[in-house]
Structure 1
């Protein structure tokens, strides 16, 4: 498809977040062009489980965004759910010790106050939720709102829907620069030509920081590597997304070193997905067998039947991580015309539609459904100032 000379909005990135931005912007009546350096959903969206979770989020802005996104997945997008294999399977978080269960119960209490549906589960009741769990666990919490989609299908179909509303999509189109008029961003220069635009949305995932750098602004998005293992089909052996309570701590951690915690869930096709790992190793794509062995061992401890299962394959990808664990969403006052929709780390699939709807509302000069201030891109300048002040005092 020929590159348009102009558009109201250029979205950089054709993963789930970029696709959602394109769909909601096109639905708002804006002309939209999507460009991506590679294939549709070729980055993080192709290397994740497709989680739509509330269970792993502390009360606060990210949980509010998750709730808003849930309302879209289950509301106005519900008629399309079959296209991306939306599965409202629910989540089960389990604790190995009484102290861990006490921490989980406190978290669940805060989430419940924020409007999350959560049911505490005693150790003896866990088998009623997951018959094949290891015995002897202290307890858990059941989150009926947790769900899953096939992430590549979600991105592809959101883009297809956007095209039906007039958007154009251009894979294999690398952004080499941004059009500028003083500090303002006025479009993009790509490997296939230039597009002028009133607004440019940075939905470039792990490359979001590099795109921001083209405008001379700081958005410190870093890649955080994670692995997923896929077993042979074992239908109905795991009913929910099941993970150990320490997974929540790992999600919130800023540690650059390797962290693993067991996450196990079935898929519609019968295979079982096993995670999870987190480490900051740049864009190193090499496979570390030690990480896979650690993940497998912890999954077997949670579900002993997996000791006899065959692993068909594994894959890894890079999650766009921000130092304060909040995504970057909204207009950048340091570079008028530039908008950001990146830095969601491992929650990007679930948060994609809420992010896209917020961006589109702002682009169309409508009132967003929730306060975007906690996600403001310029917050990192203040963080840098605070860090500099602390260093001077030291």
Structure 2
């Protein structure tokens, strides 16, 4: 089977890696370098802690196991896998009770959770007076661009090819089935299946393939400090981050997320706002994120910021990714709309796409167990414009 994967971010690279590992003939097409889009604008989160029990958590649990498998196959150092764990903290007793109920539901779904009464024991530099939190030992972090590059390199070693080009349209057969893609330069790439792994641009690529999906951009900012000695041991965030992830509000939302990197810098997030593809720097967002981080870790007040970056999360209205074959365009398989969880969910998404292509389970991914992610849950009619 010939497969064209559109997108060389973390999700597209994972799709290529798994499909090539299964013996499929894979070509990856992207208009830019590996990981140059949304992947390069992320923190590299591999999280279970922020997900309600349900379809996304099921995919995340599989993905967490597959990240470990990738570390065994490719070497953890090749993408800087750090199983650092996550610490979610509450600022009030009421918030702590709600966080405990949320964690209990996750535990019943198979997530490892540990109630923490004295958060300073895990994070000595955190602000005093925090009533408690929950530790998630399975949370991890990868360097996102390195991860995409490692997966794509491994796919190429297994026979995949890469092509720098922009996909302009689908090629179709006599019965309307997709038989490949045509690039903006007029090149044709025949395929039995085309995987839409275009991230934030998945809606537009889907439209070009005759299978539009409701994927919209949601802008976010991340702050980066000067390198420091190890000061933050885990990914630490406030409990309201979970609510912000699940919110569908179009306006600006921020919640405090702080974590260290292997290079010594500290990453500070997270903001979300629906402003289309507007890349304008917003100093007010930076100020708000910095203030929240300083309240959580007071030592940051005397720390220099060296840069900020921003990007777009591929947002779906129900906050679930779109993974699976499109019923309107035979041969199109979607793998997009992961919002801020694309890095963490990439391996399981790649395995699930490969299972759909093979028509059987692959690496623990069974299409029958992930029907809630199929694109037919919200289809946009052909020719519709978002």
Question: What is the TM-score normalised by the length of structure 2?
Answer: 0.95
Q: 2:155 aligns with which of 140, 162, 165?
A: 162
Q: 1:150 aligns with which of 128, 131, 143?
A: 143
Residue 122 of structure 2 is matched in structure 1 by 129
Structure 1 contact 133–303 (Cα < 8 Å) conserved: yes
Q: CA deviation at 1:361?
A: 1.9
Aligned length: 374
Larger deviation: 38-47 or 301-310?
Answer: 38-47
How many Å separate the matches in 1 of 2:72 and 2:227?
Answer: 27
Please say if 1:179 is aligned against 2:171. yes
Q: 1:374 aligns with which of 372, 381, 385?
A: 372
Residue 354 of structure 2 is matched in structure 1 by 360
Secondary structure class of the residue paired with 1:260: strand
How many Å separate the matches in 1 of 2:72 and 2:132?
Answer: 33
Larger deviation: 210-219 or 151-160?
Answer: 210-219
How many Å separate the matches in 2 of 1:234 and 1:376?
Answer: 44
Q: CA deviation at 1:76?
A: 4.9
Question: What is the TM-score normalised by the length of structure 1?
Answer: 0.93
How many Å separate the matches in 2 of 1:138 and 1:373?
Answer: 40
Residue 104 of structure 1 is matched in structure 2 by 99
Q: CA deviation at 1:89?
A: 0.3
Please say if 1:89 is aligned against 2:81. no
How many Å separate the matches in 1 of 2:205 and 2:139?
Answer: 32
Q: 2:214 aligns with which of 203, 206, 220?
A: 220
Please say if 1:46 is aligned against 2:5. no
| Structure 1, gaps ≥5 residues long | 1-6, 385-394
Deviations 1:5-24 (A, max 9, x none): xx700000000000000010
How many Å separate the matches in 2 of 1:215 and 1:32?
Answer: 18
Q: CA deviation at 1:77?
A: 3.7
Structure 2 contact 211–332 (Cα < 8 Å) conserved: no
Deviations 1:132-163 (A, max 9, x none): 11111121000000000000000011111111
Give 1:1-394 correspondences, 5 Å limit.
Answer: 8-79=2-73, 80-122=75-117, 125-171=118-164, 173-181=165-173, 182-192=175-185, 193-368=187-362, 369-370=365-366, 371-381=369-379
Structure 1 contact 235–266 (Cα < 8 Å) conserved: no
Secondary structure class of the residue paired with 1:354: helix
How many Å separate the matches in 1 of 2:211 and 2:194?
Answer: 14
Q: CA deviation at 1:367?
A: 2.2
Secondary structure class of the residue paired with 1:75: helix
How many Å separate the matches in 1 of 2:303 and 2:329?
Answer: 52
Structure 1 contact 329–376 (Cα < 8 Å) conserved: yes
Structure 2 contact 204–212 (Cα < 8 Å) conserved: no
How many Å separate the matches in 1 of 2:70 and 2:219?
Answer: 33
Runs of 4+ in 1 over 3 A off after TM superposition: none
Deviations 1:281-340 (A, max 9, x none): 000011000000000000000000000000010100001000000000011111110000
Deviations 1:248-276 (A, max 9, x none): 00000000100001100000011100001
Please report the RMSD computed on the Cα atoms of aligned residues, expressed in angstroms: 1.3
Q: CA deviation at 1:82?
A: 1.1
Residue 389 of structure 1 is matched in structure 2 by none
Structure 1 contact 218–380 (Cα < 8 Å) conserved: no
How many Å separate the matches in 2 of 1:355 and 1:340?
Answer: 10
